[in-house]
């Protein structure tokens, strides 16, 4: 679960990381009052869970309360990279002397955490990382030891950060541990003209598996979740909406990921990631098809199942149950292999539904699904 900037900012403040004064609002008139409380000038920032807000016009410096209200009217309701702006944060402006980048992120390959820091922070940090990798320090962090003052000094030195940033590095690690985060990022961490260090922007990603410990977050992300993802979650289905035209259903995350890659290699775009799991029933299969077929962007569906605990005849029964219930108009390409595959194929052959087509191999099924999506 990603947090909004204002939520990340509150976590930083709770753990003693200096941040500028700020307030949030959903009202242009209230934006005027907040700017007045902040001293007149303010930075108006769209609260959306995506990058590139500044370049998209979602972050603006205003000179007075009247300009704050006008700017709020212009930004509220705007679409930024597919995210509708519903909330604004107005922050006290800061005279910046230097901008830095600091973060801790889970390194899944290494089974630990990585500190990433640079003395060249700001909106172009991605370009810095790509074109000047030597300017970005990557320091492994031992999970048991954590980030002590000595470790923070090591990270700051490697990245070329001022020594006084070490305290922020220690406290940022405390945010990660206390909040069960997978990522904590400050960009930019700045040295103000007066010399003090401030976190001007923040990003925090929490571990969904730790929600039972982090109960205060509840359903804060519900308004940003795609309606189909919400529907799938209520049915206990692992579904992620993607920007494509071929619906994907498989059993097992590895198989589904491979299927996405093969479809993309055939010149089509996957419309989703949907894993029915290892012990899915015919009802789960039917529910999965319901979710995928409800996506108006889907032009064809690829069901790729390797039978194990979930036998292929069960999958076939679920497909036919969904077809009877939903009366789809989009073609389905089915590849069954493994446990009870022959029986599953026979079930589909016997029904001979005009929209259900079987292909023996994953590559062949992906090619056919891509062809159907392009001709639908």
Short-list 65, 59, 82, CA closest to 28: 65
Token output for 323: 């077809």
From 5, 23, 69, 101, the catalytic residue? 101
Angstrom distance (rounded) from CA 72 to CA 44: 7
Q: Active site includes 104?
A: no
Contact 375, 268 (CB under 8 A): no
Token output for 349: 């052959």
Query: At 323, which helix (H) or strand (E)?
Result: helix 312-326
Q: Is 145 exposed, middle or buried (0-12, 13-18, 19+ CB in 10 A)?
A: exposed
| SS3 state of residue 29 | helix
Contact 46, 204 (CB under 8 A): no
What is the longest distance spanned by two Cα atoms in the chain? Answer: 78
Token output for 16: 């003693």
Q: Active site includes 371?
A: no
DSSP string, 194-245: TS-EEE--EEEEE-GGGTTT-GGGTTTTGGGS-HHHHHHHHTT-EEEE-SSS
DSSP bridge partners of 344: none
From 23, 69, 99, 185, the catalytic residue? 185
| SS3 state of residue 125 | helix
Q: Alpha-carbon Rg of the chain, whole angstroms?
A: 25
Q: Is the peptide bond before 188 cis (omega within 30 degrees of 0)?
A: yes
The count of C-alpha atoms lying within 13 angstroms of the C-alpha of 325, restricted to the half-sphere facing its C-beta, is 17
Q: In this structure, what DSSP letter does residue 270 have?
A: B
Q: What residue has token string 């902040």?
A: 38
Q: How many residues does the chain have?
A: 376
Residues labelled catalytic? 101, 185
């Amino acid at each position: 679960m990603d947090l909004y900037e204002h939520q990340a900012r509150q976590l930083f403040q709770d753990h003693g990381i200096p941040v500028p004064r700020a307030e949030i609002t959903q009202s242009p008139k209230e934006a005027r009052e907040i700017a007045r409380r902040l001293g007149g000038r303010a930075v108006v920032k769209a609260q959306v869970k995506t990058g590139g807000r500044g370049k998209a016009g979602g972050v603006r410096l205003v000179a007075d309360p009247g300009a704050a209200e006008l700017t709020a009217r212009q930004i509220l309701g705007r679409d930024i990279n597919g995210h509708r702006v519903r909330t604004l944060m107005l922050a006290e402006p800061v005279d910046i002397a230097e901008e830095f980048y600091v973060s801790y992120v889970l390194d899944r390959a290494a089974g630990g955490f990585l500190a990433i820091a640079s003395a060249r922070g700001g909106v172009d940090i991605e370009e810095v990382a790509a074109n000047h990798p030597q300017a970005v320090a990557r320091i492994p962090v031992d999970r048991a030891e954590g980030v002590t003052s000595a470790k923070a000094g090591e990270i700051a030195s490697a990245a070329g950060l001022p020594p006084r940033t070490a305290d922020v590095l220690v406290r940022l690690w405390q945010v990660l541990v206390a909040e069960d985060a997978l990522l904590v990022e400050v960009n930019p961490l700045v040295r103000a003209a007066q010399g003090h260090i401030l976190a001007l922007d923040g990003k925090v990603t929490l571990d969904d598996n730790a929600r039972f410990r982090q109960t205060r977050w509840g359903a804060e992300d519900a308004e940003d979740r795609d309606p189909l993802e919400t529907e799938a979650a209520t049915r206990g289905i692992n579904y992620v909406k993607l920007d494509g035209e071929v619906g994907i259903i498989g059993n097992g995350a590895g198989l589904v990921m491979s299927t996405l890659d093969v479809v993309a290699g055939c010149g089509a775009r996957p419309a989703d990631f949907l894993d029915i799991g290892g012990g899915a029933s015919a009802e789960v299969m039917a529910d999965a098809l319901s979710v995928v077929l409800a996506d108006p962007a889907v032009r064809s569906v690829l069901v790729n199942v390797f039978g194990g605990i979930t036998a292929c005849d069960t999958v076939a029964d679920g497909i036919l149950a969904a077809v009877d219930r939903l009366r789809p108009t989009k073609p389905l390409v089915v590849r069954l292999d493994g446990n009870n595959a022959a029986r599953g194929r026979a079930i589909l052959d016997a029904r001979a539904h005009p929209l259900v087509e079987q292909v023996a191999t994953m590559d062949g099924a992906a090619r056919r699904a891509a062809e159907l999506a392009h001709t639908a």
